[in-house]
Amino acid sequence: MQRNLTMMTDLYQLTMMNGYFVNGTYRHTAVFDVFFRQKGQINYAISAGLGQAVDYIENLKFSGEDIDYLRSLKQFDERFLDYLRSFRFTGDIYSVVEGELVFPNEPTLIVRAPMIEAQFVETAILNIVNHQTLIATKASRIVRAAAGKKVVEFGLRRAQGPDAGIYGARASIIGGCSGTSNVLTGKMFDVDIKGTHSHSWVMSYKTELDAFRAFAEIYPDNCLLLVDTYDSLRSGVPNAITVFKELRAKGHKPVGIRLDSGDIAYLSKKARKMLDEAGFPDAIIFASNDIDENVLQQLNIQGAKTDVYGVGTKLITSEDMPSLGGVYKLAQIERDGKEYPVMKFSDSAEKITNPGFKTLYRIYEKDTGKAFADLIALEGEKLPTPLTLTHETERWKSTTLENYEARKMLVPIYRGGKLVYKCPTLAESVAYREKEMDRFWDEYKRLSNPHVYKVDLSDGLYELKQKLLKKRG
């Protein structure tokens, strides 16, 4: 989608750009890493947002109106404003693909570009990737909790704005949802769209039965009735059964019913019994009503007789964790014609960054084909055989693999400002996520207290990090 988001940035990105331009360091090469830190129960995330990030870079340019507005702020050198007229991204970007399982502290996107460009793209890239990865991850957790039952994204009305609704719905599909209620997302990304009718449809008729009959007459082969407007078991389901019998007599097959309030476990079991006894064992029970992975786990325990879930607010807003917390940190900078690794220091060990221009490997055991660990290494560093993986801080913890496969996870997206990556279709990203998800043991994917997946540093990166830490001391 052609859309210029160039001015969607923080003011300090522009003031720093102006500073780099004025002091003459704006062409110096810089390397920035995107990664997220451990947060709550999130052990893994599902990468999403690369497609829109590519759209952003492709349309990156300042219009005359943009420059006039910046001039009106009276904060920028006129030579810098003139430079912005021809501003384009000319650097390199490496990223994991959409649908990739990623883990805390590992670089999921790397920008290597002139400092003025690498600095500027931070805000938009984080805005895009943080949000969509967050929603894809939440969707993945909800779909796992659904235990094989389909989940449809229903959150547009509760999303925090149009973009959050559109791209959040897309991200939810990457995370595992089977469809969305969002028609524009369906049109833009060829996503299956779902929907029935609202309570207002039922309330606009004199009786519930009249409303059901009217809906069935218009949609005889797609008749899924919302049964909880007045009383699910005393009127809703019995009236739905009456209409289903009328449809069957005319040669049509009803789809099922939807429950949107009350005790879903209890109501679904009662409704299932009523539908079966009436001769409609294939009629599905679609359930909605503030559902998330925690509710789904309880519904499973209680033996709910549901078939499909519509999940809205708690998915599209990721209600229990409304931000991913991904960051964009400088890892290498050019000074006096040479590139130097740099790192952020902190009294908190988890906030100390990893220096240098890096790459990321996923290590698989050859005998099982399962993912064993991820390894952050310096670009160009060779992996030995056998490979010894060592805990970053607790160095006595190590494992040696004699028989392994290593896959480089960061793929080139841009080289010298040119797009060299063909973005897959949404369906291809979904298929990729499904394939990779199967390559992880279940203990890493548990919703509560998951086993911690190993993300280790290569020997070269570990030694570089220790060298910089000692130099600081």
The 3-class secondary structure across 272-285, one letter per residue, is: HHHHHHCCCCCCEE
Task: Give the pLDDT of residue 6.
Answer: 97
Closest CA to 103 of 434, 388, 376: 376
Task: Give the pLDDT of residue 346.
Answer: 87
- Per-residue pLDDT for 1 more than 70? no
- Per-residue pLDDT for 404 more than 90? yes
Mean pLDDT of 229-256: 98
Task: Give the pLDDT of residue 143.
Answer: 98
Mean pLDDT of 299-307: 97
2 token code pair: 């052609």
| Inter-residue contact 230 to 199 (CB < 8 Å) | no
Mean pLDDT of 39-50: 88
Mean pLDDT of 35-53: 90
Measured CA to CA, the distance from residue 389 to residue 386 in angstroms comes to 10
Residue 167's H or E segment, with its range, is helix 162-175
Measured CA to CA, the distance from residue 326 to residue 25 in angstroms comes to 27
- Per-residue pLDDT for 381 more than 80? yes
- Record the pTM: 0.95
Residue-wise pLDDT tens digits, 305-356: 999 999 999 999 999 999 998 999 999 999 989 999 999 998 888 889 999 9
What is the DSSP code (8-state) at residue 424? Answer: P
- From residue 125, give the alpha-carbon distance in Å to each of 72, 305, 325: 26, 42, 13
The percentage of residues in the chain with a pLDDT greater than 70, rounded to a whole number, is 99
- Per-residue pLDDT for 229 more than 90? yes
Task: Give the pLDDT of residue 347.
Answer: 82
